[in-house]
Amino acid sequence: MKSRISKLQEYISKNEMDGALITRKENLFYFTGSSLVLGGYLLITPHDATFFVPELEYEEARETSKVPVEKFKKLDELYETLKRFNVLGMEGSTSISFSNSLKEKSKIEEFKFLDDVIKELRIIKTPEEIKVIEDACRIADMAMMVALEEISEGKTEREIAAKMEYVMKMNGADKVAFDTIIASGKRSALPHGVASDKRIEKGDLVVIDEGAFYRHYNSDMTRTIVVGTPNERQKEIYEIVLEAQRKAVEAAKPGITAKDLDKIARDIITEYGYGDKFIHSLGHGVGLQIHEWPRLSQTDETVLREGMVVTIEPGIYIPNFGGVRIEDTIVITSNGARRLTKTERELI
Ligand SMILES: [Mn+2]
């Protein structure tokens, strides 16, 4: 934790800020090791760091925080402390009302963004972080196994999702990383078709997109199956998506840019004539947030490096017919990439 804070301190000195104020929960966890229900305010100066927390959670913070903790009763105490700052670093997501209060009550003259440095730190996962994400992925694999066993004609999408969530929690997950997507039949053409009351029918394509939130880290995986015997067109689009997904995972390694990796998958799907049906990016970073950097999109020029954790999730979506998406969470290694979600990818 110390080195994370010292890197931030170097950055604020170099960029002529008097201090930095961190308020986003996942960043508070990243820099202090504490995760509080009500959150708090981490104030970092070039040579110091203090974590201001509500009185209610002071004891919890003292036990878990790597940074000295101080309690406050009213936000006015924080505004008072900040009066000696002119230029303050903030996260881009800071609310306008909070920054207005800081301007009025603490007389902050200028805000600078911390987003670049936080991204640069969080985008590369440490071996310890990778270990936790790997565990989160293992839980996602268990939930997927249950989905593959349980899905059958007549059951509702919601019922399957509930069983998956149960398995995740029984295996240590704090919660689901996001609302489980079970999109069957024509609904499978909706990339974000959260589980509904629809009953699964014979012949349905079913897209299952799920992940676990475990010890503050996320996992993300998608499989698509056919209930019963697949028809020719279902098989065709499945094989195309699978080829694109495999080739992209194989090509993922240090040195390749996010957009070039997206292009590898997109070119394959385009060659088969479905380019306009691949309506989203190839993938995204995964960590403390389910969607973080880098974006594996057609425009992201991030060069992949060892320690990045990203998803590879090409898809084809045909309105009124159905869709296929296959997704793994992978980690970039020194010379390639390793899949952290391991459920088999062949059509079931
Ligand atoms: Mn995803």
Note whether 198 and 161 are within 8 A (CB): no
pLDDT for 1:
54
- 217-228 average pLDDT score: 98
Distance between Cα 119 and ligand 1 center (Å): 19
Q: Is residue 340 predicted with pLDDT exceeding 70?
A: yes
pLDDT for 339:
98
The string of pLDDT tens digits covering residues 75-125 is 999 999 999 999 999 999 999 999 999 999 999 999 999 999 999 999 999
Distance between Cα 189 and ligand 1 center (Å): 16
Distance between Cα 39 and ligand 1 center (Å): 26
Distance between Cα 313 and ligand 1 center (Å): 7
Distance between Cα 87 and ligand 1 center (Å): 37
> Is the alpha carbon torsion for 214, 219, 222, 223 positive or negative?
negative
Q: pLDDT category, 3, cuts 50, 70, 90?
A: confident
β-sheet bridge partners, residue 210 = 221
Distance between Cα 45 and ligand 1 center (Å): 36
Distance between Cα 157 and ligand 1 center (Å): 19
Distance between Cα 258 and ligand 1 center (Å): 15
> What are the chain's domains?
2-121 (3.40.350.10), 127-339 (3.90.230.10)
pLDDT for 348:
86
The string of pLDDT tens digits covering residues 23-42 is 999 999 999 999 999 999 99
For the CA atoms of the chain, what is the radius of gyration?
23
- 208-227 average pLDDT score: 98
β-sheet bridge partners, residue 285 = 292, 310
Q: Is residue 262 predicted with pLDDT exceeding 90?
A: yes
Distance between Cα 190 and ligand 1 center (Å): 14
Distance between Cα 230 and ligand 1 center (Å): 25
pLDDT for 145:
98
Distance between Cα 262 and ligand 1 center (Å): 14
The CA dihedral of 130, 131, 132, 137, to the nearest 10 degrees, is 80
The string of pLDDT tens digits covering residues 223-253 is 999 999 999 999 999 999 999 999 999 999 9
| pTM assigned to the model | 0.95
pLDDT for 337:
98
What order do you get walking across the sheet with 212-214 strand by strand? 175-176, 212-214, 217-218
Distance between Cα 283 and ligand 1 center (Å): 6
